[in-house]
Structure 1
């Protein structure tokens, strides 16, 4: 059961790109006739946190001045009486000056200092120990960059979002079956349930985790394509309802409007980043260890993207 839950959580490795397109870069649904509905949905999603200005940024981000900014995306599976863990952690760095977004996936088993806890542990445990705040502090410390905003996504909402855009079509390059569904080579149409099964399969893929992540990107690209299409205007109520139920963020509506106006072109150029790790066991527990050189490489690339090294 735990293995199935983990796989479901990992389907969100790139799913937050949906939120960025529909809510932040706002191609199709940000129109006058749905303005009120969008604002209501964002108000439902808004969940501020008590936090001082990051020590890693001298001045607050000015979205009206087109400053580069970062967003920590957390995919969680919360249950009543249990905060859960953020088994999906993605950092997006957005730079309108080079019209690009860099998306870094942090493996959940990455061993690092949990800031505020005083221990070395898996990075995804930060959310279980201290929620959004501890997650942000820990990621800031690990990557040595400021985290300006966050988005928390409920994993169970994955299927709702796919169904809300009316399903998607992908080009499948591997014949396989999973979850009671068969996926032949060629063009495949997926609803929410099928999309979840499509992204879960890994062990039968000769490319392993790389193949699974490739299918995840296909799903996100398909949702972005459908969410941005004119036909999705008729589904905007379902889309906003799915997002409102499954997303929390400290971004305000006005900030999203500023991003939509000033950063929109960057959303069409998303680059994936990866952290290379070495798997090992410490006291019988599996961890992913990141070398100092690899950590420095990633930090430098992110700092350049955020224009922090000028």
Structure 2
């Protein structure tokens, strides 16, 4: 009986052991299933957090755009309005004004004037720098003067009307940034990198030809302002200004600034105005970003002269026709 009992107990233990072995895979599967659920929950939470972050950025950008938006009354020179939803070529006047620089609070003048045309068909943008001393008719003021005085006489609207008349093209949009704003925006993006085309010292900052230099806001302002020690005068300064603007745009567009986007938006709110609405910006980003990344830089050439003791830049009819023709071609107006 004892032997029989022992055999029976051994059999029960073996049977229990086999039963446990059969159950283990199911336990492992349940553990794996539980682990997968936890993983999916974590991924879902991350996606929700990312969605909220993206929505926050979207909302903040829309709010900033609303604050900096300002329509201006300008002369309508197009026969029909453009439709950027249909990828029509468009033009934009960029004004860098000296209001806010060196403590100025008055209207100021347009220290920098650039016209950009963007054409998604040719996949190209053309940027024309207009010398600030260019002598032209100031539309709405009844005088012939330096083109940058248009802003002092009548603000953005007079600047747009004057440039439209001078280049014989429509200006669809404008972006205006004051000189103090340049400093704030460069600081907000964490500085920019440029290579100086010449060696010079300005306002205590040193720059060396061919040497890549990291610029913070104050240094960028000094780098882009110097004119009289540049052998190319205002043309040289405009080249350096284009460098800073392009480097800043590239930095803003990079993912490296995403964590600092609120500072960037804050600097724009305080220093920028435009007639572009948020929806316009979204459409331009979606439909024109490839063309906007392919920029051809063009310089409007002027010959310096003095009239009644005042220095002006005189643009020949041939030169004006050349530049106007380039812009018209890109705007498909020919």
* Superposition TM-score, scaled by structure 1 size: 0.82
2:248 is matched with: 223
d(CA) in 1 for partners of 2:155 and 2:232? 34
Q: What are the superposed Cα offsets for residues 185-204 of structure 1, whole Å, 9 maximum, x if unpaired?
A: 53322211122223334555
Shift of 1:117: 1.9
Give the paired residue count: 278
Q: What are the superposed Cα offsets for residues 141-197 of structure 1, whole Å, 9 maximum, x if unpaired?
A: 111111111111111111111110111223346554332233355332221112222
Closer, same or farther in 2 for the Cα pair 1:61/1:171, shift >3 Å? same
Of residues 283-292 and 30-39 in structure 1, the stretch that sits farther from structure 2 once superposed is 30-39
Of residues 148-157 and 169-178 in structure 1, the stretch that sits farther from structure 2 once superposed is 169-178
1:192 is matched with: 217
1:66 is matched with: 87
Shift of 1:254: 1.1
Shift of 1:242: 0.7
d(CA) in 1 for partners of 2:207 and 2:145? 38
d(CA) in 2 for partners of 1:59 and 1:114? 25
- The answer as to 2:125 corresponding to 1:101 is yes
CA contact (8 A) 2:70 2:275 kept: yes
d(CA) in 1 for partners of 2:123 and 2:323? 20
Shift of 1:207: 5.5
Q: What are the superposed Cα offsets for residues 239-295 of structure 1, whole Å, 9 maximum, x if unpaired?
A: 111111111111111111111111111111111111121211111111111111111
SS in structure 2 of the partner of residue 287 of structure 1: strand
Higher relative contact order (CA 8 A, sep 6+): 1
2:311 to 267, 286, 295: 286
Shift of 1:211: 4.5
d(CA) in 2 for partners of 1:274 and 1:173? 16
- The answer as to 2:102 corresponding to 1:78 is no
Q: What are the superposed Cα offsets for residues 106-160 of structure 1, whole Å, 9 maximum, x if unpaired?
A: 1111111111222211111222222222211111111111111111111111111
2:113 is matched with: 89
Which structure would you say has the larger Rg?
Answer: 2
SS in structure 2 of the partner of residue 88 of structure 1: strand
CA contact (8 A) 2:74 2:160 kept: no
- The answer as to 2:169 corresponding to 1:148 is no
Q: What are the superposed Cα offsets for residues 1-29 of structure 1, whole Å, 9 maximum, x if unpaired?
A: xxxxxxxxxxxxxxxxxxxxxxxxxxxxx
* Superposition TM-score, scaled by structure 2 size: 0.77
Of residues 266-275 and 189-198 in structure 1, the stretch that sits farther from structure 2 once superposed is 189-198
Closer, same or farther in 2 for the Cα pair 1:36/1:161, shift >3 Å? same
Structure with greater proportional helix content? 2
SS in structure 1 of the partner of residue 252 of structure 2: helix
| Consecutive unaligned residues in structure 2, runs of 5 or more | 1-52
1:241 to 258, 266, 278: 266
- RMSD of aligned residue pairs (Cα, Å): 2.2
| Consecutive unaligned residues in structure 1, runs of 5 or more | 1-29
